[in-house]
A and B are shown apart, each in its own frame.
Chain A
Amino acid sequence: MAEENSMHIETPIVKDDFASAGEASSKVKKTLTMLGVKPSHIKRISVAMYEAEINAFIHGGGGMAYTDIYPDHVVIFIEDHGKGIEDISLAMQEGYSTASDEVRMMGFGAGMGLPNMKRNSDDMVIDSSPGNGTRVKMTFDIR
């Protein structure tokens, strides 16, 4: 917030609190709407961020979402301290999921999360290894 023409938002992703799941992305969505970002950009940002947030919530046991909004691009950084991803390229495949049956029953864990994030962002970097949690950085061009 300190910088002119930019906005920084930090939202905690709280473990096991289903009522608050999705709050981070809906806050970012609201902010982008007020800034007048094009609806098509808002759509892909909120879809990608929602997926990342839900991943951190389900697999990562909670974490933090950091969003930086600039006039021409948006950077979203989400970190969790969960079990990490063993094989990132396998996790990137559509339909691949390690979610429990219970989570699937709730309509999550269909194995579309990472592919959706990749598809909706202009740049995505994942940093993860078993036991070290996961950090995802997504960049979106909003010009």
Chain B
Amino acid sequence: MMKDENPRSSADEKRLQASEDMFHSVRLDRDKCMGCTNCIKNCPTQAIRVRNGKAVIISERCIDCGECIRTCTHNAKQAVTDSLDSMEKYKFTVALPAPALYSQFKTARTRNHILTALKRIGFDDVFEVAEGAEFVSNATRQYMKENEIKRPVISTACPAIVKLVQVKFPSLIDNLLPLQAPVEAAAGLAKKKFSEQTGLSPDDIGIFFISPCAAKMHTKNAPLRGKKSDIDELISFQDIYMKLRSAIKDIPPYEEEDIATASSFGVRWPNPGGESLAAGTKKFVAVDGINDVVEILETVDTNEDSKFRGLDFIECLACKGGCLGGPLTVKNVYVAQVIMKDMRSEQNCRYKVGELPAKHVDWHDLLWDRKPEHIPVDQLSPNMAEAFRMLSDMEEIGDSLPGIDCGACGAPSCMALAEDIVRGQAKITDCVFKLREKVRGLAVEMFELEGVMPPTMENSSGETDAGDGGETETSYIFDIEDGVRGNNKEESNEDRDEAERGNPADSDKVNSAEAVHSRGTAERSSGTGADWDRYPGSTGAAGKEGESIDDKRYGGLYSGHFADWHNL
């Protein structure tokens, strides 16, 4: 059953509107959005549609991976971040630089150089996220030793991965490492440390996460723990870059403060493999780039027993190159890798590997307070009978679509459009090809109706059906008598010759006659004065027997329809 007439209901408009208003790490600049297909095509969970000429994110499908920020050629997709101006809100401010920050400055000598610069631009103090990463590494080792967790364990430091599993791989939720991300751990420790140190209430301490990542905004707002996140503000690398760069320039070596505490294990975390190595697992695999992650999780999901036997740990990072390739970074990911190598070298670290993990931190504090839930976005309907019906409709609609995944309908693929249609969020005519078919059908109908005369106008012969090539009143209306008669097979060759001889000066007509020949539909002829005959829809056929494939395809648009309407 096709649902041709399925107007987008107001409820669905509301739903799309609602998802637009709901919180996301990604925001759309409506003025910049051209309604093109770049983001819808590259979204790994097919969470974006174009509606009314603008991209719309389907909230529950979005995993905050930031892929659309990267692929938007008009810079219309932007990360939701906070501003440095919010420093004024707090009595004491602490910068939490993600370790990837160290890879962004060619001119920086050491981590201390960058950390000192952070203090110069206004932060009261600094706490390395890399230090939090070491606590998480320690907790990972303990957790995997003491607990029966489904193998392979899937890393959860990248927030997009957690949401990806919730949306696409519900049966892998038990494989997720139930520990907070390094930044959460660092924020908690920093809040505690500086509130004790200054005697201020934790609310007066502003924790500013300096982030390469859009998805971290999501954890800030919906952390996997009972209480509110300890991160107060999220500042993107890009927003702080120029300020920090000029501060770095002004600091001579002797003014560098001794701030950096993390060892090379914590600092290498943002590189793919860094987390696995720090966690001390031998049988691990590090996968970066969201599409590769989807592929590997797909494999684990269906085939955990044979291909992945013995695998302990899968480190998944949504961005190519890990956090060094985050959407909010400034430096090219490979340049960043080169700089990072220097920054994490042993002589650049005060503490050696393993010295830092402070004994006073109980790793149990880093455990999640709640388990992430399955978000069943692919389910068609909560009612299975309904779902069966929708699925079979969807297949039928999908088969009828052209299958070229052009995206002009606003959905990423023809199958996605079919799904949107059965969900009542799109209509079949959103497909330009389907729309064209419909228009053609209407054109045929119009033509047929045109030939029907009211009884008062019928002449004595009673021949009124234009489809049969009526030689009566219809002809003078369109002034394309020959074209109309051309449908009459027996007469057509003669007619065409007549037409060509009769008016050789009409170049349009000659052109069109040639076109007709080249298509091999010799029975057809075109009418006089019909400029439209250049177009494929005007072979003059109205679907009679003996027609070629071209006739079937184009036959609906009989040239007569496009005759000059002024004649009417």
Contact = CB atoms under 8 A, between A and B. Distances in A.
Interface of A: 1, 4-7, 22, 25-26, 29-31, 33-36, 39-40, 42-43, 46-47, 50-51, 71, 107-108, 110, 112-113, 116
A110 B309 contact: yes
A116 B391 CA distance: 29
Given A7-B392, A22-B303, 8 more contacts: A6-B388, A35-B387, A35-B388, A36-B380, A39-B171, A43-B171, A50-B303, A112-B306
A1 B395 contact: yes
A29 B305 contact: no
B298 interface: yes
Interface in B255-304: 298, 301-304
Nearest to B374: A39
A46 B388 contact: no
B382 interface: yes
Contact of A7 (B170, B305, B374, B388): B388
B298 to A, nearest CB: 7
Contacts of B388: 4-7, 35, 71
Interface string B153-173: 000000000000000001100
A46 B384 contact: no
B381 interface: yes
B379 A110 contact: no
A22 B395 CA distance: 21
Contacts of B307: 107-108
21 contacts: A1-B395, A4-B385, A4-B388, A4-B389, A5-B385, A6-B388, A25-B302, A29-B302, A34-B380, A35-B387, A36-B379, A36-B381, A36-B382, A36-B387, A39-B170, A46-B301, A47-B302, A50-B303, A107-B306, A110-B309, A116-B305
Interface of B: 170-171, 298, 301-307, 309, 374, 376, 378-382, 384-385, 387-389, 391-392, 395
A26 B306 CA distance: 16
Nearest to A3: B388
Given A1-B395, A34-B391, A43 B378 contact: no
Contacts of B389: 4
A113 to B, nearest CB: 8
Contacts of A33: 378-379
A102 to B, nearest CB: 16
A35 to B, nearest CB: 5
A26 B169 CA distance: 13
Contacts of A34: 378-380, 387, 391
A141 to B, nearest CB: 14
B387 A47 contact: no
Contacts of B382: 36
A30 B378 CA distance: 9
Contacts of B379: 33-36
B448 to A, nearest CB: 35
A34 B307 CA distance: 26
Nearest to B307: A107
A26 B298 contact: yes
A42 B307 CA distance: 19
B306 A110 contact: yes
Contacts of B171: 39-40, 42-43
A107 B170 CA distance: 25
Nearest to B391: A34
Nearest to B379: A36
B60 to A, nearest CB: 15
A25 B301 CA distance: 12
A4 B392 CA distance: 10
Contact of A112 (B301, B302, B305): B305
A63 B381 CA distance: 33
Given A5-B385, A46-B301, A50-B302, A35 B391 contact: yes
A22 B392 CA distance: 23
